[in-house]
Amino acid sequence: MFQKLRQMGEVSLITWINAILVSILSAVNFMMYLVILEPWLVCTMLVVYGLFILCAWGAHFGKLPALNALIAVFSIWIITLTSYSSLAPYGITMLIQVVVTSLAAIVGTVFALLRKEKVHKIICVFGAILFAVPALFCCVWGVNSALSNAKTKASREIWQVPDVFERTDTTQKGRVEKIDYATKAYATDQRAVTKSAYVYLPYGYNDETQYDILYLLHGTGDDEAYWLVTYEWNKVMLDNMIEQKIIRPVIVVTPTFYVENDCADDLDRLTYSFSDELRNDLMPVVESKYSTYAETADKAGFIESREHRAFAGLSRGAVTTIHSAICDNLDYFSSFGTFSGSRTPVEYYKEHALSDEFKDYSIDYWYVASGNFDFALPVQVTDCRAIIAADERLILGENISFDVFPMRYHSQGNWHLALYNFLQKIY
């Protein structure tokens, strides 16, 4: 064997070793995804890692080490999309792959130039494959998106919100109001502060009608304007879904978990402290001003009307949904949505959501969603499985579901689609 290795020459030896390492690393990474996801959900990763392996062996047999630079570039892209501490094993293997393939591309190319290596014709075959596979995958994406866009009726979607619900020419437009309310800095010094929230009122809103209500949180770095003002197409989608009677008219409240500049070095504290702000300050102000199913804007009224109240959020807002709504206000809410966020050990969940205070309250629906490239996905899957196993109230496929959106990452399009699906589940 050593004799054969010596006969291979520097270029072939470098690309051969690189191809073996890339094959091993890709297999390890793919197996790790199989652990956290159901097999049918990892088709995207199978294509990605398959291309890595094809590219590495194409560089070897085609005597074109520079081809390994493509692997390095796309590996960096995946690291960027999935960069987070919860994905440390994936990041490490990808980082090793970046280093290995970069060295193979640079050193191999230098030797190839010095030895005047001729590119083998077989590289044309690998080049065609490398072009055909992503092209086919893009076709699959395009066809599925086109089919979603062409739909005129609402249904669960994992590719795209149908265009019919993005129309801006609807004649029945709801309105958005901004309200201020007094609260406290519950996570720090309990000082008095004034905060704001936006409220979506459906077309034809009147004080004589009772409305369901949804509290909807943003993620890290955004604010109360995120859902209804910054990304106004969420409001447009609400208008269309209500006008087409896909969902019932609903009031949507978008607050913020931030409290001035508090907890800048530990934002997770706000995911817990928002519970007190929600219960003591925000809900009484909102539901005394607007007509919901709460006959009185106090504890008794909120408990009595909990089946008409939902809470959802994205990223750190999803974490806040679990910590502050499910675990600390289950007597006030019955439906929940967590988009791209979790970070809740099952022990904490059992201690709060399954406590004597809350164990007898129903969970009417819990919608979980993420993108397959979303860095929050692995922890979401792990937490969700553990919570379902611990809580007999949750039955997968009945009152809890988990959608993974193809080719989506930690981004606005991911959460817009998640909101579309969530609204249909609860209204």
- Rounded-to-5 percentages of helix, strand, coil across the chain: 55, 15, 30
Domain finish residue from 106, 126, 150 = 150
pLDDT at residue 227, rounded to an integer: 97
User: Residue 35: is it exposed, middle or buried by C-beta count within 10 angstroms (0-12/13-18/19+)?
Assistant: exposed
Pair of tokens at residue 149: 């866009």
**Same domain (yes/no): 32, 107:** yes
Any domain includes 396:
yes
Q: Mean pLDDT, to the nearest integer, of 171-197?
A: 96
Pick from 384, 334, 388: nearest CA to 362: 334
> DSSP 3-state assignment of 252?
strand
Q: Which residue has the higher pLDDT, 87 or 282?
A: 282
Percent of the chain with pLDDT over 90: 52
Query: Contact, 228 vs 176, CB < 8 A?
Result: yes
Q: List pLDDT tens digits, range 90-129.
A: 567 778 888 888 888 888 888 877 777 676 766 666 666 6
304 has pLDDT over 60: yes
Between CA 346 and CA 384 the distance in angstroms is: 9
Q: Mean pLDDT, to the nearest integer, of 207-236?
A: 95
Any domain includes 156:
no
**Same domain (yes/no): 171, 113:** no
pLDDT at residue 85, rounded to an integer: 40
84 has pLDDT over 80: no
64 has pLDDT over 60: yes
Any domain includes 280:
yes
Q: List pLDDT tens digits, range 124-183.
A: 666 666 666 666 666 766 777 777 777 777 778 878 888 889 888 888 999 999 999 999
Q: How many CB atoms lie within 10 A of CB 357?
A: 12
Pick from 326, 345, 350, 346: nearest CA to 337: 326
**Same domain (yes/no): 202, 342:** yes
45 has pLDDT over 80: no
**Same domain (yes/no): 120, 142:** yes
Any domain includes 116:
yes
**Same domain (yes/no): 135, 175:** no
User: Residue 137: is it exposed, middle or buried by C-beta count within 10 angstroms (0-12/13-18/19+)?
Assistant: middle
Strands (E), 202-308: 212-217, 250-254
236 has pLDDT over 60: yes
pLDDT at residue 107, rounded to an integer: 84
Among left, alpha and beta (phi > 0; psi -120 to 50; other), residue 33 is alpha
Query: Contact, 201 vs 175, CB < 8 A?
Result: yes
pLDDT at residue 142, rounded to an integer: 72
Q: Mean pLDDT, to the nearest integer, of 225-246?
A: 95
pLDDT band at 4 (very low <50, low <70, confident <90, very high): low
> DSSP 3-state assignment of 255?
coil
Q: Which residue has the higher pLDDT, 221 or 133?
A: 221
pLDDT band at 5 (very low <50, low <70, confident <90, very high): very low
Q: Which residue has the higher pLDDT, 157 or 298?
A: 298
Between CA 12 and CA 65 the distance in angstroms is: 9
**Same domain (yes/no): 204, 272:** yes
**Same domain (yes/no): 125, 192:** no
Domain that holds residue 34: 2-150
**Same domain (yes/no): 134, 272:** no
Strands (E), 124-206: 175-184, 192-201
Q: Mean pLDDT, to the nearest integer, of 383-387?
A: 92
pLDDT at residue 231, rounded to an integer: 92
Q: Comparing 139-153, 284-298, 374-388, which segment has the lowest mean pLDDT?
A: 139-153
Give the DSSP letter string of 342-404: ----HHHHHHHTTSTTTTTS---EEEEEEETT-TTHHHHHHHHHHHHHH-TT--BTTTEEEEE
Q: Classify residue 262 by its DSSP letter.
A: T
- As for how many domains the chain has, the answer is 2
φ and ψ at 426, to 5 degrees?
A: -110, -15
Write down the pTM of the prediction.
0.77
Helices (H), 222-294: 233-243, 268-277, 283-289
What mean pLDDT is reported for the chain? 86
**Same domain (yes/no): 229, 119:** no
Any domain includes 155:
no
- Name the helix (H) or strand (E) containing 54: helix 43-61
Pair of tokens at residue 367: 């919608």
Measured distance between the N- and C-terminal CA atoms of the chain, rounded to whole angstroms: 67
Any domain includes 158:
no
8 has pLDDT over 60: no
Assign residue 312 the CATH number of its domain: 3.40.50.1820
Domain finish residue from 150, 185, 216 = 150
Q: How many CB atoms lie within 10 A of CB 339?
A: 32
Query: Per mean pLDDT, which of 71-75, 272-276, 374-378 is the most reliable?
Result: 272-276
Q: What is the side-by-side order of every strand in the sheet holding 335-339?
A: 175-184, 192-201, 250-254, 212-217, 309-314, 335-339, 365-371, 400-405
**Same domain (yes/no): 349, 257:** yes
Q: Mean pLDDT, to the nearest integer, of 76-98?
A: 64
416 has pLDDT over 50: yes
**Same domain (yes/no): 238, 347:** yes
pLDDT band at 321 (very low <50, low <70, confident <90, very high): very high
pLDDT at residue 126, rounded to an integer: 67
Domain finish residue from 95, 124, 150 = 150
Q: List pLDDT tens digits, range 334-367.
A: 999 999 999 899 999 999 999 999 999 999 999 9
pLDDT at residue 86, rounded to an integer: 44
Between CA 295 and CA 309 the distance in angstroms is: 13
Bridge partners, 400 (sequence order)? 366, 396
**Same domain (yes/no): 65, 111:** yes
Any domain includes 182:
yes
Any domain includes 8:
yes
